[in-house]
Structure 1
Amino acid sequence: METLLFEYHATKTVASRAHVGIVGSGDLEVLLEPSSDHRTKVFVRTGSEGFGQTWRAVMDRFFTVHDVSARVTINDFGATPGVVALRLAQALEVSVREQTN
């Protein structure tokens, strides 16, 4: 089990909490919470050790495009980088949808 932390400066506020995905074979869950400190903090717990640079590349790419202030917790069970990016995008979409409902 490996735990990783990534931080990014942010200027936009995420709308509301979101929970997407499941921790299961080859998948992951993303928990997203609003943060008011103009930073995004991403906590990753993964059973696949030794992929820190891959995780950093995926997080850097995503949070360069999506400049949101949030606390993100990712619980991973071997998801591919594409699935990670998809789940992060879904969490942002759910957050926006929850605010409009």
Structure 2
Amino acid sequence: MERIELHFPAGETLPAKALAGVVGSGDLEALFQPAADNELHVIIRSSVDGGQQRWQHLFERINAARSLPAGRLDINDFGATPGVARLRIEQVLEEAGNV
């Protein structure tokens, strides 16, 4: 089990908490909580060791496509593919923006 922490500058704020996915499904769960600071704090708990660089690159690609929000993003990963991980992250951020 690996725990990874990443931090990114935030370019927007989202109004609500949100949840996407279910970790028990052998997939990935993403929980977002907004914050007033100027940073996105990402905490990843993964069943797959050695994924720091993969997660870093994934968030860099997401950040290139959209502005990351201020807050905390907890990710509980049970071996999801990078495509599923990105989908869940985008889903949780979209849900947090829809109030």
> TM-score, normalised on structure 2?
0.91
Tell me which residue corresponds to 2:53.
Answer: 53
Cα distance in 2 for partners of 1:60, 1:66 equals 10
Q: How does 1:1-101 map to 2 (within 5 A)?
A: 1-64=1-64, 65-97=66-98, 99=99
- Find the residue that maps to 1:13 and give its secondary structure: coil
Where does the alignment leave 5 or more consecutive residues of structure 1 unmatched?
none
Instruction: Tell me how far apart the structure 1 counterparts of residues 88 and 16 of structure 2 sit (CA, whole Å).
Output: 16
CA displacement, residues 10-61 of structure 1 (integer Å, 9 cap, x when unaligned): 1310121001101135411000010111100000000100121111110121
Equivalences, count: 98
- The residue matched to 2:31 in structure 1 has which SS? strand
CA distance in 2, matches of 1:14, 1:70: 8
- Structure 2, gaps ≥5 residues long: none
Partner SS, residue 16 of structure 2: coil
Displacement, 1:73? Answer: 0.1
* Structure 1 stretches of 4+ moved >2 Å: 63-67
RMSD: 1.2
Identity of aligned residues (%): 39
